[in-house]
Amino acid sequence: MVKRLFYTILFLLGGFSTATSQSGQVPIDIGKEVEKRILPPVLIEGEDAKTTSLRERMEHLNIPGISLAIIKDGEIILTEGFGKAHSTGNQPVTSATLFQAASLSKPVTASAVLSLVVDGNADLDEDINRYLESWNLPDNGFTNHEPVTIRRLLNHTAGVNVHGFNGYPAGQDDYPVLRDILEGSGSTNSESIKVIHTPGSQWQYSGGGYTVIQQILEDISGHSFTEIMKQTVFESLDMTGSTFEQNLPDSLREIAANAHVRGNFPLPTGWHIYPEKAAAGLWTTPSDLALWISEIQNAVINNESKIFTVAAAREMLIPDHGGWGLGVQINSKGDSLHFSHSGANEGFRSYLIGFVNQRHGIVIMTNSDNGSMIVPEITRTVAYHLNWPQYQPSIRTVVDLDPEKLDVFSGIYELETGIPLEITPGNNKLYVSVSGEHVAEFLPVSDTTFFDVSTDVRIEFLPAATGETDELKLIIEQHKLSGYRSDSFDR
């Protein structure tokens, strides 16, 4: 339990590696590499990589099914499914299997909004109450001097509440309508949508904001959100496996993946219903989302788009507070510029990345709430073989240290989070434990810096003038946790 808690903290703090080491390799069959040889977070110079099969990782993490699409140089080079659509059945996941995209609904919705802007039906920077007819976002002290705008709703700076939605078990007699969700009335299980910070002052992720966007689209067009998305995005991009319908027709239910919680336990009702469609209601496939990613890349690089102008596509990729553009998170700059988004509905996890200049990308969809744990493993394997500017495994060179140099690090250190780390040297490595339970082995890359080969988490020691080490830093990506030698914990 302690070990699991420790790694959970590391995962939440660090996400996954965006190392920029270059492999220079182009695989003959990227699908086979993913299926047979998942790479570890760290490659040790001079040693063969210790790989595992995707099936082994899925079994270890209790993930029933995965669907995957990979883009290289603007072409979709792989669409493939692995595992089962239902953990207790025999239906395999294929490239046509439908998954709930969860929050990947948001960037797809944003592209439809930009299409309306291009057509002159909306302005990104007008007060949204100008467009809302069937409901108005209540004004309050936070909106006295700054308006809530479409732009701010799309990039999560509108100051609107409600991070996400829990959904409703499929099979109920009825579900809240959009007006009820906005007002927090009726049978809705979320609070009313309101402004809780001054618009434009800060970034705060808000599914509630996208629910307002859903109402704006319906009020401007006079059509249902589902129909708007079908006509504006899905039909334009030939996304034939995508829908915002929540009560799936029988023909689609037959090819839909079942949601699984706590790993591989299927939801008895199959999945949850999300009437908050713009925020979480998309059913789709990785191959369809790959078409969507390619559309943005085409617009920016080739000045071609079926749904919006080049200027609108570029607008989508301009970061604001928190590094977010319009519907997507913007990562890095220059040649490594790319956008991404994750999704998490009950029993589903998904992720997408699109590199703009290289026109590379990936979409990963899973039918398990453990799915986010395998995303970095698949991503780094693809990144390595397709030579992406980021997300590749780190490459480390291990050095040999004299035992006496290791001995100075022995002891118990308390992290600023309150977690005690017991460090024991031996065999040219440091054994790091929590409350006496073995956690990881850290190998040296210098006299004072060590790394864990299974996570690429690093420990950097800061020697005191006495020669002993009183302070360390646990480094997880850009996050650093300080720790100090402590005698307050029993060994």
The CA distance from 486 to 413, in Å, is 5
Tell me, what DSSP letter sits at residue 418?
S
Q: Which helix (H) or strand (E) holds 379?
A: helix 375-385
pLDDT band at 360 (very low <50, low <70, confident <90, very high): very high
Higher pLDDT, 473 or 490: 473
Is the pLDDT reported for residue 16 higher than 70?
no
Question: What tokens does 88 get?
Answer: 């207790």
Residue-wise DSSP of 229-243:
HIIIIIHHHT-TT-B
Residues paired with residue 160 on neighbouring β-strands, in sequence order = 195
Phi, psi dihedrals of residue 18, rounded to the nearest 5°: -120, 40
Mean pLDDT of the chain: 91
The CA distance from 280 to 364, in Å, is 16
Report pLDDT digits (tens) over 28-46.
Answer: 599 999 999 999 999 999 9
35 to each of 38, 54, 344, 351, 440, how far by Cα in Å?
7, 5, 24, 18, 26
The CA distance from 68 to 290, in Å, is 10
Q: Which helix (H) or strand (E) holds 153?
A: helix 150-154
The pTM assigned to this predicted structure is: 0.90
* Domain at 403-485: CATH code: 2.40.128.50
The CA distance from 260 to 65, in Å, is 10
Report pLDDT digits (tens) over 429-461.
Answer: 999 997 667 678 999 999 999 999 888 999 999
Tell me, what DSSP letter sits at residue 482?
E
pLDDT for residue 5: 41
Residue 430 DSSP SS3? strand
Inter-residue contact 458 to 450 (CB < 8 Å): yes
Give me the sign of the Cα torsion angle 440, 43, 329, 192.
negative
pLDDT for residue 3: 38
pLDDT for residue 487: 65
Is the pLDDT reported for residue 478 higher than 80?
no
Report pLDDT digits (tens) over 119-152.
Answer: 899 999 999 999 999 999 999 999 999 999 999 9
Report pLDDT digits (tens) over 61-109.
Answer: 999 999 999 999 999 999 999 999 999 999 999 999 999 999 999 999 9
Inter-residue contact 372 to 364 (CB < 8 Å): no
The domain made up of 99-328 has a fold known as: Beta-lactamase (3.40.710)
Higher pLDDT, 318 or 10: 318
Percent of all residues in the chain with a pLDDT value above 90, rounded to a whole number: 80
Higher pLDDT, 405 or 58: 58
Inter-residue contact 239 to 233 (CB < 8 Å): yes
Name the residue among 373, 166, 351 with its Cα closest to residue 263: 373
Is the pLDDT reported for residue 464 higher than 70?
no
Is the pLDDT reported for residue 490 higher than 70?
no
Inter-residue contact 238 to 302 (CB < 8 Å): no
pLDDT for residue 434: 77
pLDDT for residue 479: 85
Tell how far CA 444 is from the center of its chain: 31
**Domain ranges (residues) in the chain:** 99-328, 403-485
DSSP E strands: which ranges in 427-490?
429-434, 437-444, 449-452, 458-463, 469-476, 479-485
Inter-residue contact 308 to 328 (CB < 8 Å): no
Residue 109 DSSP SS3? helix
pLDDT for residue 19: 47
Residue type, 216: I
Is the pLDDT reported for residue 4 higher than 60?
no
pLDDT band at 334 (very low <50, low <70, confident <90, very high): confident
Is the pLDDT reported for residue 8 higher than 60?
no
The CA distance from 255 to 445, in Å, is 49
Is the pLDDT reported for residue 341 higher than 90?
yes
